[in-house]
Amino acid sequence: MDAVDETRTKAPRERELSVPVLPESAKRRPKLIPIAVWAEETFGDYAPPVRTIRSWIRAGKIYPMPVKIGRSYYVKPDAEYVDPLVQRFRRSIGRY
């Protein structure tokens, strides 16, 4: 009887331990943010207007590509502005 009681008491504890524990930074950081917030974080006081950012999105100049949900665009916080023409030019002259 004692062996059966021990397995019953250990089973819930093992289930609790099997849940993955996320670090604090993963809990606080959002997966997607609005493009206006991204522009403010990326460019600071000199952030371009939202209309300009939307034209960059259409031209594919933000990587990874933002997602349109409803009427708004959302982007990953670590997204970057990338101009494909400049990247191609730098590769052709050997800078990248």
Instruction: Please give the single-letter amino acid code of residue 71.
Output: R
Largest CA distance in the chain: 79
pLDDT band at 75 (very low <50, low <70, confident <90, very high): very high
Is the pLDDT reported for residue 85 higher than 60? yes
Residue with tokens 């191609």: 88
Query: Rounded to 10 degrees, what is the CA torsion of 96, 37, 31, 58?
Result: -60
Model pLDDT, residue 91:
82
Q: How far apart are CA 53 and CA 45, in angstroms?
A: 15
CATH value of 23-93 in 3.40.50.620, 1.10.10.10, 3.40.50.720, 1.10.1660.20: 1.10.1660.20
Q: Domain boundaries in the chain?
A: 23-93
Position with higher pLDDT, 3 vs 42: 42
- pTM here is 0.62
Is the pLDDT reported for residue 96 higher than 70? no
